Amino acid sequence: MIIYFFFFILSLLPLIEGEGLGLARFLLLSSCFPWSIYLLKKKKITLNLVFYLFFLFLTLALISTLISPVFQRSFNILVLYFVYLIYFLLSQALFKENKPLFKKGLNLALLFPSLSLTLLSFYLLSFKDAPAIPAMNLIFPSFGHNHLVDFLVLSFPLSLFLFLKEENRVKKGLFFLLNLIYLAGFILSFSRGGFLLLLFIAGCFFLKLKKTETSFFKKISLKYVLFLGVFVFLLISLSLFSSLFLEENQIRSEFFQKFTRSPSHQSRLEYWHQSFLSFKEKPIFGWGLDNFRYLSKKYQSQSHFWSWYSHNHFLQLFSETGFLGGLCFLGLILLSLKRIFLTSVKDEFNLNWALKISVLASILQSLFDFNWQFSSVFLLFWVILGFLIKDSEESRETKEYLPKLKPYFLMFFVFIAFLIFLTSFLELKGSFYYFKAREYEENNQFTKASFYYEKVLTSWPFKLERWKKIIEYYQDQGDLDKALAVSQKLGLKEPLNGDNYLVLGDLYFEKNDFLKAIQAYEKAVLMNPQQGEKVYLKIVELYLENNLINSKEIIRVLTNLETLKQERCLLLCLGKESEENVNSLLIKLIQQDDEFNKLNPKEQAKVYFWLTILNIHQQNWEEPISYIKKAVKIDNNLKNKEKYQVLLDELLLIQAIDQSYQSNNFNEAETLAFKLIKTPLLSFYQKFYLAKANNILGEIMLRKEDYLKAEEYFLKAIEINPWDQDFYLNLSFIYVKSKKNDKKEMTLNKCLDFNPWSQKCLRNLNK
């Protein structure tokens, strides 16, 4: 009876992975207690090296969990690893008890969910507005593409083997149809990694079939597998070729847009580098299980280059459990592979061989994807591995180490399974309260909703995502005190999550506690430096709106912003509204003598330098020149003074060009403009008035009716600074003169792309 329930759970879990109530996790966790009782009664565990390595890994993972900065998240994953061990041991015990029934059950647990999920994914693909599950699941494209491939990698080698080995024509036809459905599932998952794994599976079968004895069987099977391999290779080539040579806007079909999307190898390299940096910071016991999602944000080199998972399970475990835990898990996988490939019948083409290919393919996928983060996939991986290890051990003598410890280990597993059993009920209870609260909230019964939300926090506080929803609920209800209290508690439970500090800062801001708001915002930047620009600009806005002029704090915030944006950008790349806010704040600062005088000469000069940069694109050159002159005069640092002087000389030159042109002294303006554009680029900001110089040269050539030269200069001005509408208008005037209406329309449309508010470009386009 127990074996039927075992395979029922294995078959059901993939189908309900990611459902909101948590029934899948409840079923998985609660089942461990009866399994452990069964193992205790039968005393069917083997204390070999694989077992001890698995147990040692769990011990190290437990240590990393106990010292984890986010204990709740690490605990949830640690529980799963204990579950995997119990299922691993149970699969070996059940196989030994009834081998034929176990093999049939395993076939069913692989083929039935795969077929169901594949057909369901086909159904969902036929609807553009199909409902989506935001949680981890195998069929909804919540993570770029659906992850059906993660399960098919385990089941496809089995279905391919059954088709090739079956002699009954009807059954062979059914298995052929099953293979076609799975193959379509691979294709419609739009996973490049899935295509490569399919090619790997076909290659393994091709090499194996070359050694089979039956010539007729060999001939037919080789042709089929060879055709499969060639088809997949062409599929990969077509996908890569299309992504490299076709623009996305050239492909109208949504299906082919997904199929030909650019490969994401760059982001994977970034995630692996983030894992390495995380490991370097805590190399012994790591950061705790499932905490990579926070470290990815902390170490991302570009905005949006972060992920929940490292896309390499081994690297992720090195960063989360440290060197010892990562090495132990790597040793566990390598030793398991050694065991299953050391069978007595090495060349036999059988079920075990097909499942070995499944295991290998799944391991390969874990090197560049997060397939093992799906509990149903990783669970089945351990069940298959347990069966293969046990089967291989029966062909040779297996050495046990310290067999006298077996009763103690079994009692320990019963104790752990009982704790997991209790955990599963507490989790389910928390889920029940949460859904009741959501139901009452949707029905506007806010008193009852508040009651159940509070129950959620007390019954099972380990589901951190629900805390954020509860904070939003209290905010919507206008209960800032409760929202703030929950947010503060969440910050203590999840200190690595910068988003929590952003929410906390917003709540302090709403309560007019500006100093605490700023402190919370700056903690958010520490956790996720890539959101520093957004946070610092928010602080600038807060200072400005509430007239908070603290000279030292303003200098510190803007210096951090300058460092974040780097020397080649500084403050002049924040967007028009943000630049105006920074400019207004700095002007307020210099107007308040008592605060401005608190700054040393170097800091005062920096303020004038920033004001110069922020006003450099204005038509009036007097203002930025006056600011930079003050910076040159105040700062005594020779290096800074030299930098400011270079900028002053360049500004004086562009001012002279502009004045000569405005006074109709075109020859002098042309001479000075040529001098400027041929001067080596001494400062990054030169590009803003370099565009102006090219525009003036274009206008001079336009007066001389040298349209080719004028066009060249206007195009250069647009290339340097595509946001100035005057450059486009001048260029379009040339095309009007030369009767090139197509180019005129294209130029003015481009103007509207960069300047959608430009009435001049719009009027000229409609003429």
Q: Which CATH architecture fits 643-766? A: Alpha Horseshoe (1.25)
- The whole-angstrom separation of Cα 193 and Cα 100 is 34
Q: What is the mean pLDDT of residues 168-184?
A: 87
Cβ atoms of 634 and 605 closer than 8 Å: yes
250 has a pLDDT exceeding 70: no
Tokens of 296: 């990815």
Predicted local confidence at residue 245, as pLDDT: 46
Distance of CA 155 to the CA centre of its chain: 27
- Which of 284, 289, 324, 322 has its CA nearest to residue 308? 289
pLDDT at 158: 93
Q: If residue 354 lies in a helix (H) or strand (E), which one and from where to where?
A: helix 351-366
Would you tell me the crossing angle of helices 551-565 and 601-614 to the nearest 10 degrees? 60
For range 527-551, the mean pLDDT? 82
Question: Which DSSP string corresponds to 641-663?
Answer: HHHHHHHHHHHHHHHHHHHHHHT
Which residue reads 């620009």 in tokens? 533
Confidence check: pLDDT of 569 > 80: no
Q: Read off the DSSP letter of residue 262.
A: P
Kindly tell me if the per-residue pLDDT of 448 is higher than 70: yes
- Tell me what pLDDT residue 241 has: 52
Buried b (16+ CB within 10 A) or exposed e, 213-227: eeeeeeeebbebbee
Q: Dihedral of the CA atoms 438, 441, 447, 453 (nearest 10)?
A: 30
Say whether pLDDT at 335 is over 80: yes
Query: Where does the pLDDT of residue 249 fall: very low under 50, low under 70, confident under 90, or very high at 90 and above?
Result: very low
Per-residue pLDDT of 54-74, as tens digits, reads: 999 999 999 999 999 999 999
Q: In the predicted model, is pLDDT for residue 589 greater than 60?
A: yes
User: Which is more confidently placed, 227 or 306?
Assistant: 306
Model pLDDT for residues 695-751, shown as the tens digit of each residue? 888 888 888 888 888 888 888 888 877 777 888 888 888 888 777 878 888 888 888
Per the prediction, the chain carries an average pLDDT of 83
Backbone phi, then psi, for 247, in 5-degree steps?
Answer: -75, 150
Instruction: Note the pLDDT tens digit of each residue in 273-319.
Output: 999 999 999 999 999 999 999 999 889 887 778 889 999 999 999 99
- DSSP state letters, 167-235: -SHHHHHHHHHHHHHHHHHHHHTT-HHHHHHHHHHHHHHHHHHTT-S-HHHHHHHHHHHHHHHHHHHHH
Selection from 372, 420, 325, 416 nearest residue 64 by Cα = 325
Domain with CATH 1.25.40.10 in the chain: 643-766
**What is the C-alpha separation between 767 and 760, in angstroms, rounded?**
11
Task: Tell whether the model's pLDDT for residue 201 goes beyond 50.
Answer: yes
C-alpha 707/C-alpha 452 separation (Å) is: 75
Burial class from Cβ neighbours inside 10 Å (0-12, 13-18, 19+) for residue 432 reads: middle
Q: Which of 20-29, 250-259, 577-586, 588-597 has the lowest mean pLDDT?
A: 250-259
Q: Which amino acid is at 531?
A: Q
Residue 131 has pLDDT above 60, yes or no: no
* Distance (Å, whole) CA 248 – CA 253: 10
**pLDDT value of position 84:** 96
**518 vs 238 pLDDT, higher one:** 518
Q: pLDDT tens, 477-499?
A: 888 999 999 999 998 999 999 88
Write the CA distances from 126 to 131, 186, 235, 254, 269, integer angstroms. Answer: 12, 16, 22, 12, 34
Cβ partners under 8 Å of residue 122, min gap 6: 184, 185, 188
- The tokens describing 123, both together, are 């159904």
Query: How does residue 373 score in pLDDT terms, banded at 50, 70 and 90?
Result: very high
pLDDT tens-place string over residues 71-88: 999 999 999 999 999 999
Q: What pTM was computed for the model?
A: 0.81
Question: How much is the pLDDT for 263?
Answer: 52
Which sign, positive or negative, has the C-alpha torsion 373, 379, 383, 389? positive
What mean pLDDT do residues 19-44 have? 87
With tokens 């300058």, the residue in question is: 562
Neighbours of 4 (CB within 10 A): 10
Tell me the mean pLDDT in the region 612-630: 81
Q: For residue range 141-174, what is the model confidence (pLDDT) as tens digits?
A: 555 556 888 999 999 999 989 988 888 888 888 9
Pairwise CA distance, residues 120 & 139, whole Å? 8
Rounded CA gap, 154 and 185, in Å?
13
457-to-309, 450, 668 alpha-carbon distances in Å: 27, 11, 76
Residues present in the chain in total: 767
Confidence of residue 7 (pLDDT cuts 50, 70, 90): very high
Structure tokens belonging to residue 569:
């950008």
